[in-house]
């Protein structure tokens, strides 16, 4: 069975400083990993996706994530936070054809707060 742990429910940073949102996963197979973002009163938007091509994945709006198999981690980073980054971020895993339920498995979400 697959699972996702987002280690922080809230992260607060100052505008212009780096962002780090932490995620650890558990999967029996070679997973696909995603980060989604949800801005207030909006739907879920895909930030980036890891399959198996490259361990460092670049996404939209300057975000990137690094897949580390040895640490079972997929942390999301951004060099410089912007006020518009304030939102809730979800780390997500899919086992694909590896078995288990067809749907995605979500972490509990991390609220990113940007201080002016």
How far CA 43 is from CA of 39, 56, 99, in Å, comes to 7, 26, 28
- 34 is a site residue for other proteins (CB under 8 A): yes
Q: Which part of the chain contacts other proteins (CB under 8 A), choosing from 11-19, 45-53, 60-68, 78-86?
A: 45-53
Rounded to a whole number of angstroms, the minimum distance from the CB of residue 79 to other proteins is 25
Closest by alpha carbon to 31, among 5, 52, 59? 52
- 95 is a site residue for other proteins (CB under 8 A): yes
Residues making up the chain, counted from first to last: 116
DSSP H or E segment with residue 95: none
Q: Which is nearer to other proteins, 34 or 81 (CB)?
A: 34
* Cα 90 from Cα 4, distance rounded (Å): 10
- 106 is a site residue for other proteins (CB under 8 A): yes
The contact set with other proteins (CB under 8 A) reads: 32, 34, 36, 42-46, 49, 51, 90, 94-98, 101-109
């Amino acid at each position: 069975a697959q699972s996702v742990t987002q280690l922080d429910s809230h992260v607060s940073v100052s505008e212009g400083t780096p962002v780090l949102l932490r995620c650890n996963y558990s999967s029996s197979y070679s997973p696909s990993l995603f980060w989604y973002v949800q801005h207030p009163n909006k739907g879920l938007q895909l930030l980036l996706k890891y399959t198996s091509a490259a361990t460092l994945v670049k996404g939209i709006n300057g975000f990137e994530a690094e897949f580390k198999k040895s640490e079972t981690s997929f942390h999301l980073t951004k060099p410089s936070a912007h006020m518009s980054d304030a939102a809730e971020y979800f780390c997500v895993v899919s086992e694909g054809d590896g078995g288990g339920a067809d749907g995605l498995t979500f972490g509990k979400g991390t609220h990113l707060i940007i201080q002016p």
